[in-house]
Amino acid sequence: MPRALITPQRLVDHVRRLGEEHPPLEVGRVDRTVHDARAVRARFGPTIDYMARVELEVERNVLELLVLLPDVDETNRMFYQDVWGPQEVQHGLILDQLQQDLGLTPAEPELSEVSARVRILGALAHLAPVQEVVRLLYYLTGAATERSAVIAYNAMSSGLVEMGEHAIAKTVIAPIKQQEPGHFAFYQMSATAMLQQEVLAPWQLHLARFLRSRSFGLVGANNRAQRADYGGVIVDTGLGDALEDYARDVGRVEARLLWAHRQGAEVPGYVLRALRDSVDLHRERQAAGAS
């Protein structure tokens, strides 16, 4: 592999650096000036609500993580407990405050219900050979999720600047957006390290591919209504016409690690299908609402 070797020490250093350089953001430091609340609400209301919910659901994500990786090591524990968890919760609180400032209802995160999909994977994860497969899937999910967040925040940020809403673009979206790439890098490096060290036997990689292609889900989209909501986020952030680029971006890490042996597999088909499905559901719902 052409990439530099990712040693356990490099991962620990990365997590420590994130903790030192990016303390959790403070809700009180946000400049809450909004010039045209109605316009922001119309353009980004559902997107802010979606992102607030997903960020706040980090609490449930930690429960899921403990189900998935019962034997989590110190580096991973330090990452989710000391860095990622506290940072994401603040992202959620800040976005939730913003949407309430805009006159919208608070987010309704699902904090305790671990999904059936996670419980099944968790049961399998107790078998040692499967545990490592699940760990790889966890990193790939994390990488795709963090990348999706950056894409959404980038689009929101330029949209808000365009609308002249500089205060919230600069003090809400920009600082949140700055913390996501470090999370992405952790998952990306962790997954890459597993492949570099050949932790998985060929049959385990087959299993990882099979499970990933069957279980891929867009972040925060755990039922039909939420999938339609995600489609709304895609459309409202102006990404509906470039789904293939979007899928390529979100699926880049797994395309490289799982599917590189297949010609033309640079966009995992299941990622593109999930995006298309969510946009279709959103449009269907809109059409039903309009009729």
Q: Which residues bind Fe ion (CB under 5 A)?
A: 55, 88, 91, 146, 180, 183
- C-beta of 109 vs 205, nearer to Fe ion: 109
CB of residue 233 to Fe ion, shortest distance in Å: 14
> What tokens does 255 get?
């395309």
Could you give the 3-state DSSP secondary structure of residue 136? helix
The span from the CA of 149 to the CA of 180, in Å, is 7
Q: Environment class of residue 265 by beta-carbon count within 10 Å: exposed (0-12), middle (13-18) or buried (19+)?
A: middle
CB of 97 to Fe ion, least distance (A): 15
Query: How far apart (Å, rounded) are the C-alpha atoms in residues 58 and 64?
Result: 10
Q: Tell me the DSSP string of 201-241.
A: -HHHHHHHHHHHHHH---TT--SHHHHHHHHHHHHHTT-TT
Query: Which residue's CB is nearer to Fe ion, number 92 or number 211?
Result: 92
Q: Between 183 and 227, whose beta carbon lies closer to Fe ion?
A: 183
Contact predicate 99/107, CB 8 Å: yes
CB of 232 to Fe ion, least distance (A): 19
Between CA 141 and CA 173 the distance in angstroms is 23
Is the CB of 49 or the CB of 55 nearer to Fe ion? 55
Q: 52 vs 211, which CB is nearer to Fe ion?
A: 52
- Residue in this structure with the two tokens 């939730």, named with its chain if needed: 96
Provide the minimum distance between the beta carbon of 289 and Fe ion in the complex, in angstroms, as a whole number: 30
Closest approach, Cβ 212 to Fe ion, in A, equals 20
